[in-house]
Amino acid sequence: MISGLYLKLIVIAIAIAAIVGTYFYVRHLQNTNSDLEKDIVILDAKIADQNAAVQALKKEGDVRLAAAQKDLESAKVEASKGKAKARVIYKTAPSTPGNDCKSALDLINGNDLVSKDTLDLINGGNK
């Protein structure tokens, strides 16, 4: 049997081992906590950089979008002018319908069947 003295020594050794183990575990947790706090500072700085980059890209995208919308509006205007010219050319009667070359020259040179207003509209005038 184990005597009372040995039993007390075993209990004291277990208590000391538990205290030492707890001390090292708490130190480990404190070191981990300080590392994590440093990482938080680094990540916050990176997040701020990324947010700034996103804002810069958004501004650049907004500028590009505005330019593209402006180009689209001007293209719509040019397309409507082209459609108007095409309607005028399509409705103009050539002097000799059987001769396609002469009919095209009539439009270019402005024969009597094509009015001056029609030619002005074909050449970029407004009506």
Written as six digits, the tokens of 105 are 């020259």
Domain that holds residue 68: 39-79
Q: How far apart are CA 18 and CA 76, in angstroms?
A: 82
Give just the sign of the alpha carbon dihedral 92, 98, 104, 107.
Answer: negative
Number of domains the chain contains: 2
pLDDT of 112 reads 47
Per-residue pLDDT tens for 50-101? Answer: 999 999 999 999 999 999 999 999 999 998 888 877 776 666 655 556 656 6
Per-residue pLDDT tens for 98-120? Answer: 656 655 656 555 554 445 555 56
Inside any domain, residue 59: yes
Q: What is the mean pLDDT of residues 45-50?
A: 97
Inside any domain, residue 45: yes
Residue from 113, 124, 111, 115 nearest 84 by CA: 124
User: pTM of this prediction?
Assistant: 0.47
Inside any domain, residue 44: yes
pLDDT at 15 over 50: yes
End-to-end CA distance of the chain: 121
